[in-house]
A and B are shown apart, each in its own frame.
Chain A
């Protein structure tokens, strides 16, 4: 009946009245219906208990000490009497200060305000006022926001953010997981970009195995994911059938739906594992969803099966760029390099796919045969490699020189090197140009400038520095120099052939400046008047 409900609501709406009678207040009475030791104001204590006390832990109970005159309850122990007894006196305590409160016309001045009891009507408002980590003590400071913040689901351009549960037609994309105990709970939603893998136990029985929805493939594929623009159906990527002895076979033709079927004492086509693969874009939209199933069977003796679930997210339409460090280079990872395509009017960035800093492969003996095999330059590893070139008298100088240069530098020698391991191609300033030097091996400057100069070695010197904080320095490439050393090829007498060793090397030099201590800014004296200092003039 509504009357009783209203009465109950009005009763529940007001908290119990505050206790202000000093004779009945007792701060040390902590144990209910038991006597607290040395608590002289405890009503649960009998005179025998009082005779065992040594002192009174609470000698005086008063109200606000600022009041001019107030009642005070004084408790003391009379140790002279035999047995000791408690003395209780109710006296009028007078505050001698001239600034004591004589009277007050403001009810809340001396008592703590009774909090508002939450009811279904004011619950939202109370949650808005007090629901955050801090709130203002001044009641005038709360401005009642009558306009509620926009619910995020109402916005059309909303996208998924990390951790947000993935919504489907009926509720959320479920990833059953163990909650508290190992039994599966179907109420665990999958969060966007949160890669999870869970295992849980589900209680089953052969008689009811086709009526338990969680053992059915349809339970995981029938609701489509809402991607706020379109609905994405969960497609079946693959089905693996696991036999009773644990052997798994992949089924051909993954568009067939296998529902649990009872065969005598066996229930088969039972879902034992689901692996979701969600593809998303960098704007937070889900483009594809696929589920790979593991179906199995269980016998009459089995009372439970273990199910495992997994969800992983991959970004679609991107080519993964392997990072060589984040941000500094990691020793052993390849040095990233690229070229800058000549685009008019502004070059857009660097292309680093095909171009890699590399040396002649160490296993090559003959340079011409070794043109395809190259070893990438790994950061921090100084390397020397080489090969032999067989020169016959019939070879011309220029082609030989060009061939040697190709062998040394490789097919696509880059022009720029990334200074950090994670430099993006768009960040033009993060890339360091490779400077080239050509030096001649001859000490004596020959006057025969027309003689043939062929490159015999390529030395790449990479200067790097430690960058960042002292406890976690990051390697940063500052300078890359490629030095080609040439030598004169003397004309061979016909019929003779010569073997020229060709070397390529890479050296990493640490040019870090010594660490500088960084001090925090000097503390400043910050004297400011409180903003209401000139109240009420300002």
Chain B
């Protein structure tokens, strides 16, 4: 039996990680809507041909699709203190980081608001990744 399950003072689930998941979920909804609105604004104000618009939208929607299982697996792994879903979530986090980097640096038009939103998201991912690694280490050992 996993150690510390009967004694509530030595639980292995990470509380900061859980809080971060919760905050991340809410922030991501705001981030997704804001980025989508800004892409629509950019397509109206600037010259945004379809060849350049399609990859940007694809990346945004791919990130949204990845976010749901990432948060779900993370929550499940953290609460059940299982390292497998948490590890999977960490892998998905890496993918999300790459996509967020794309939206920060390689998007067709990077506005100042884009920089701010993506920087916040990347810092949240970074913090999450660190906490997940410690949680996995705690679960494994």
**A264 in the interface, Cβ–Cβ < 8 Å?**
no
**Residues of A contacting B38 in the complex (Cβ-Cβ under 8 angstroms):** 99
**Residues of A contacting B106 in the complex (Cβ-Cβ under 8 angstroms):** 105
**Residues of A contacting B54 in the complex (Cβ-Cβ under 8 angstroms):** 536
Stretch at the interface among B6-14, B88-96, B111-119, B125-133: B111-119
Majority secondary structure, A binding face: loop
Q: Contacts A99-B41, A99-B112 given: A105-B57 contact, CB under 8 Å?
A: no
Interface pair A102/B50, CB less than 8 Å apart: no
**A98 in the interface, Cβ–Cβ < 8 Å?**
yes
**A283 in the interface, Cβ–Cβ < 8 Å?**
no
- A536 CA to B47 CA, complexed, in Å: 18
**Residues of A contacting B84 in the complex (Cβ-Cβ under 8 angstroms):** none
Interface residues on B, range: 20 to 34
Interchain CB contact (< 8 A) of A104 among B45, B109, B112: B109
Interface pair A109/B109, CB less than 8 Å apart: yes
**Residues of B contacting A105 in the complex (Cβ-Cβ under 8 angstroms):** 106-108, 110
Please, what's the 1-or-0 string for A107-143, where 1 marks a CB less than 8 Å from any CB in chain B?
Answer: 0110000000000000000000000000000111000
498-538 of chain A: CB within 8 A of chain B = 536
**Residues of B contacting A68 in the complex (Cβ-Cβ under 8 angstroms):** 112
Majority secondary structure, B binding face: helix
**A101 in the interface, Cβ–Cβ < 8 Å?**
yes
Interface pair B49/A104, CB less than 8 Å apart: no
**A100 in the interface, Cβ–Cβ < 8 Å?**
yes
What's the count of A-B pairs with C-beta under 8 Å?
48
Interchain CB contact (< 8 A) of A101 among B47, B50, B57, B110: B110
**A346 in the interface, Cβ–Cβ < 8 Å?**
no
Interface pair A140/B49, CB less than 8 Å apart: yes
Interface pair B110/A104, CB less than 8 Å apart: yes
**Residues of A contacting B51 in the complex (Cβ-Cβ under 8 angstroms):** 140
- A50 CA to B69 CA, complexed, in Å: 69
**B98 in the interface, Cβ–Cβ < 8 Å?**
no
**Residues of A contacting B113 in the complex (Cβ-Cβ under 8 angstroms):** 98-99
Interface residues on A, range: 10 to 19
Interface pair B49/A138, CB less than 8 Å apart: yes
Interface pair A109/B108, CB less than 8 Å apart: yes
Please, what's the 1-or-0 string for A477-494, where 1 marks a CB less than 8 Å from any CB in chain B?
Answer: 000000000000000000
- A139 CA to B51 CA, complexed, in Å: 11
A92 → B minimal CB distance (Å): 15
Interface pair B49/A139, CB less than 8 Å apart: yes
**A344 in the interface, Cβ–Cβ < 8 Å?**
no
- A203 CA to B8 CA, complexed, in Å: 120
**A162 in the interface, Cβ–Cβ < 8 Å?**
no
- A324 CA to B138 CA, complexed, in Å: 108
Max chain A C-beta neighbours (<10 A), residue from B41, B50, B110, B112 = B112
Given pairs A97-B112, A98-B116, 4 additional interface contacts (CB within 8 A): A66-B46, A99-B38, A101-B46, A108-B47
> What are 8 sample pairs from A and B whose C-beta atoms fall under 8 A apart?
A99-B112, A101-B110, A104-B108, A108-B47, A109-B108, A138-B49, A140-B50, A536-B57
- 6 pairs of A and B residues whose beta carbons are closest in the complex: A103-B110, A102-B110, A106-B108, A98-B113, A102-B112, A99-B111
